[in-house]
Amino acid sequence: MMTKSFKISGTGAALALSFLMAAASTPVRAETKEVRIAEQFGLVYLPLTIMRDRNLLEKHAAQAGIKDLKVTWSRFSGSSQMTDAILSGSLDFASGAYANMAVLWDKTKGAIKAVAPVGIGPVYLVTVDPRIKSIKDFGGTDKIALPAVKVSTQALILQMAAAKEFGLENHAKLDINTVGMGHPDAVAMLSSGKTEVKSHFSAPPFQQLEMNAGARKVLDSYEVFGGPHGSAVVYAPVKFHSANPKTFKAFVAAYKDAVDLINAKPQEAAEIYKRATNDKASVEEIARQLQDPQVVAFTMAPLNLTKISDFMHATKRLQSKPATWQDVFFPELQSYVKDAK
């Protein structure tokens, strides 16, 4: 999974205030002629990749009577830039960590909400150090690579695990062990055997590559959450939702089509992913991962996401917390979801 920040930059904080003021006075207008979407590469974001590849949003928009909709896809160098873009109105749909969206939901008092969950799957803390059997074995000089110190999804899960093991007041106990590093670089370091970094809080498909090469699993996020969980979402401004109801419904329907394609035709979905990302794994390996629920799975149901915001509230990163997933998701998703935690 990619790096995501839980913080709003100084520019973002100012934008959040102006965003709220603008949302309160949005005039009625015709639906937008262009939708701007930020995608991320990574297997869990595959529904967005398929939406782009198959022009699914354009298809559903046309069926709703919105002709010639322009869909612009982009990627951002960091989550702070994506946050500023969605708060300034230059981006309509973003994708990233649920924790980051929860901060935006909290700071804007509900003016940013989640649209749909992305792929679910466990993330593993793996090691090539024979001494390390559990998180209790990490000493002061043992380094753990993860996408970003303190603010990535992996860093948050490590804190949740530390809180369970050492008590909530010690949730940051292992922060001193962590170093920010991209997944490919961390994989290369572990495989080289010539670095002080011998552990990596990874993500699909990198954790599979590392374990195939001899790394051992130290921590499974499913154990921390007590079962399957999500960690990332697609999210959007309430202002866009209110001004473009047909377009918004078309987006959710297109996303559902992409999820259905992955589940019904994993080989075809793997081919799309390989072509779009030029991933080093073979199509056959990607398809195998898509068919293994212990690697990644796709559903419209938000699973255990509120456990993340509960923890963030307990550790003072959120002033308020959602009581249920419905509090932070747009209602369109509920027509596709009957039961979710």
pLDDT at res. 341? 53
Domain boundary among 225, 255, 279: 225
Residue among 274, 232, 264 at smallest CA distance from 53: 274
Q: Which of helix, strand or coil describes residue 199?
A: strand
139 in the same domain as 152: yes
pLDDT at res. 292? 87
Give backbone dihedrals phi and psi of 37, rounded to 5 degrees, phi first: -125, 135
Domain membership of residue 3 (yes or no) is no
167 in the same domain as 24: no
251 in the same domain as 108: yes
Q: Which domain holds residue 180?
A: 124-225
- In DSSP terms, 126 is beta-bridged to 200, 217
Where does residue 131 rank: exposed (0-12), middle (13-18), buried (19+ CB within 10 A)?
exposed
Mapping DSSP onto H, E and C, the string for 164-188 reads HHHCHHHCCCCHHHEEECCHHHHHH
Q: How many Å apart are CA 24 and CA 26, to the nearest integer?
A: 6
pLDDT at res. 1? 40
pLDDT at res. 294? 78
Domain boundary among 181, 196, 225: 225
- In DSSP terms, 237 is beta-bridged to 112
Q: How many Å apart are CA 9 and CA 87, to the nearest integer?
A: 11
Lowest mean pLDDT across 1-5, 185-189, 246-250: 1-5
pLDDT in tens, 71-101: 999 987 667 788 889 999 999 999 988 988 9
pLDDT in tens, 102-122: 999 999 999 999 999 998 889
Confidence of residue 150 (pLDDT cuts 50, 70, 90): confident
Residue among 55, 151, 57 at smallest CA distance from 96: 151
Check if the beta carbon of residue 135 is closer than 8 Å to that of residue 174.
yes
**How many structural domains compose the chain?**
2
Q: How many Å apart are CA 180 and CA 311, to the nearest integer?
A: 22
Lowest mean pLDDT across 78-82, 200-204, 220-224, 244-248: 78-82
Domain boundary among 203, 225, 247: 225
132 in the same domain as 73: no
Lowest mean pLDDT across 24-28, 80-84, 235-239, 299-303: 24-28
pLDDT in tens, 166-207: 999 999 999 999 998 888 889 998 988 777 899 999 987 788
pLDDT at res. 78? 66
Check if the beta carbon of residue 43 is closer than 8 Å to that of residue 205.
yes
Q: Which of helix, strand or coil describes residue 329?
A: strand
Domain membership of residue 5 (yes or no) is no
Q: How high does pLDDT run on average in the chain? A: 88
Residue among 100, 117, 92, 94 at smallest CA distance from 255: 117
pTM beyond 0.75: the answer is: yes
Q: How many Å apart are CA 269 and CA 47, to the nearest integer?
A: 9
pLDDT at res. 22? 55
Q: Which of helix, strand or coil describes residue 104?
A: helix
Confidence of residue 10 (pLDDT cuts 50, 70, 90): low
Domain membership of residue 100 (yes or no) is yes
Check if the beta carbon of residue 155 is closer than 8 Å to that of residue 179.
no
Q: Which amino acid is at 61?
A: A
Q: How far is CA 1 from CA 97, 188, 270, in A?
A: 9, 17, 18
Domain membership of residue 341 (yes or no) is no
Radius of gyration of the chain (CA): 20
Check if the beta carbon of residue 303 is closer than 8 Å to that of residue 333.
no
Check if the beta carbon of residue 174 is closer than 8 Å to that of residue 136.
no
281 in the same domain as 216: no
Give the H/E segment covering residue 289. Answer: helix 283-290
CATH code of 156's domain: 3.40.190.10
Beta-sheet pairing, 232-237 with 94-97? antiparallel
pLDDT at res. 183? 86
pLDDT at 266 over 90: yes
